[in-house]
Amino acid sequence: MSLAYIRSSVSKKEKISLDVQQEWIIKKAHELNLTTPLFYEDCGVSGHHIGNRKGVSQLIQHLKQVTNETLLVYRYNRLSRNMLELLDLLELCERQNIVVVSVMEPLPAGMGTSSAIQKVFVQLIGLVSEFQRSVTVENVRSGLKQKRRNGLPLASNPPYGYSYTQEKLLPQKEEGAVVQWLYDEYVNESKGYTKLAQLLTQKGIRYRGTIFSSLHVQTILRNPVYYGVLKGGSFGSYLGTHHCLITKDQFDSVQRLRSKRQVIQKQATTHPLQKKIPCPFCRRALGFREMKKNNKTYRYFTCSKPTCVAKYQSVSPIEQEIKRVIQAFLNQADVKQRLIQEVENQSGSNTKQLKLDLVQLQKKKQALFQDFERGTVDESEFLQRLDQLKQEKSLVYQPQASSQNQELEALKAFLTVTQKEQVLPVPDDFYFNLVERVELTKDYQVSGVYVTHLEQNLVEGNPISLENNS
């Protein structure tokens, strides 16, 4: 059985397709009186390294398990463009007594057919290929440098406000007007990214077919291309020849204001209500964000979907309303009585377990003294085990058990006060951990509070309006 490998890095017309490679290899196999080969292939991947290609990796595993076979390729560089990897692969074939045949690169007549000759020939081909590659790269770099000298863009993907035609950036009238409006509004009206995106959406203006997002606004307001400067990557920024949509003074004013308004975001902040509130617009679970600005901390629930029109919602009003709703629910006579009974049961269970643990420790201590008196343990072991028992006793008396009872007693005290009395301090997390889901209307009213294991909506009557204090 013969083997074959084909590869194409890109699907362009000027490249040799997999079908063409396969056709030539089958023709060559028949010329050599070989059976139709078993093909391995990689499509759409670079040939620079073997490790990131599934097809050639499978081929190598096959080569390690067979001997006295023939491997056909369209060209040697289909196996790898990396010379060291290619030579390693040829050495593997030599050890397995596998003949490698390149359809388009047959060994010249008179050179012989030994594996050593083949390696020399492959290295010569590789040197030529590497030279061609170097020339190609240098030509590309020279072309980019020439574009830079001429003030032309290096890439063909134009920023918003421009189109790309014949290697030039041409201003687009409607998009250009939006860019100018954004720079004016940001400076003169003190509007932020989100507000500007919302205003554009309300006007029916879209970002190339999609809803304008705060990220789109931010990208436009930080791009120097609009006052004439192009980004040159490793070549560095340079002055372009395209028409400017704003002045450098306008751009600098926006950057100063952006720097002044910049907020410090705390990345690893969480909230017990996080992911429990579906967005009233897109139903994606709202996340939590905490930001610090001018020495003040602001907390928001926010939707992470870029195209969603949801606003940042201040956390405090939602927290207060949920606490009020749950307090009202817990103050219902039948609910309160059942909870008080459960608290007493839990507290009694904790006390009972504590007593049982102490009895067990006392029994262990008595048994240890009896063993010591009978001489079954020496003094050193006796002292060591006695010390262990003391440590176990201290663990039993650790604050964990007593703090559990203290929390239960605090909850019981909260449940037993009347609605007219001052509610005792109960941690906010107590309320929020009870919550399974909170529903908001599109005008940010709390319309539903659902607690775990209870399908009933605790919000009764009309939704309760929340003032957005952001």
How much is the pLDDT for 418?
A: 42
DSSP string, 186-216: HHHS---HHHHHHHHHHTT-EETTEE--HHH
C-beta of residue 361 within 8 angstroms of C-beta of residue 393:
yes
CA distance 128 to 124: 6
CA distance 181 to 176: 9
| Mean pLDDT estimate for the chain | 80
Core vs surface per residue 302-312: b (16+ CB within 10 A) or e: bbeeeebbbbb
CA distance 94 to 105: 18
How much is the pLDDT for 466?
A: 42
C-beta of residue 427 within 8 angstroms of C-beta of residue 435:
no
How much is the pLDDT for 163?
A: 92
How much is the pLDDT for 425?
A: 56
Angle at 439 between CA 436 and CA 441, to 5 degrees: 175
How much is the pLDDT for 297?
A: 86
The SS3 call for residue 309 is: coil
Q: Is 378 exposed, middle or buried (0-12, 13-18, 19+ CB in 10 A)?
A: exposed
How much is the pLDDT for 395?
A: 58
Query: Does pTM top 0.75 for this prediction?
Result: no
How much is the pLDDT for 312?
A: 86
How much is the pLDDT for 134?
A: 62
437: left (phi over 0), alpha (psi -120 to 50) or beta: beta
Each residue's pLDDT tens digit, 176-201: 999 999 999 998 877 889 999 999 99
Domains defined along the chain, listed by start = 2-132 (3.40.50.1390), 162-261 (3.90.1750.20)
How much is the pLDDT for 277?
A: 94
How much is the pLDDT for 464?
A: 43
C-beta of residue 22 within 8 angstroms of C-beta of residue 6:
yes
Q: How much helix, strand and coil, in percent to the nearest 5, is found in the chain? A: 50, 15, 35
How much is the pLDDT for 160?
A: 94
CA distance 362 to 376: 19
List, for the chain, all residue ranges whose pLDDT scores fall below the cut of 50: 11-14, 267, 399-401, 403, 407, 418-424, 461-470
How much is the pLDDT for 170?
A: 92
How much is the pLDDT for 347?
A: 59
Angle at 80 between CA 74 and CA 82, to 5 degrees: 140
What's the first-to-final CA gap in the chain, in angstroms? 74
CA distance 221 to 226: 9
Each residue's pLDDT tens digit, 55-72: 999 999 999 999 999 999
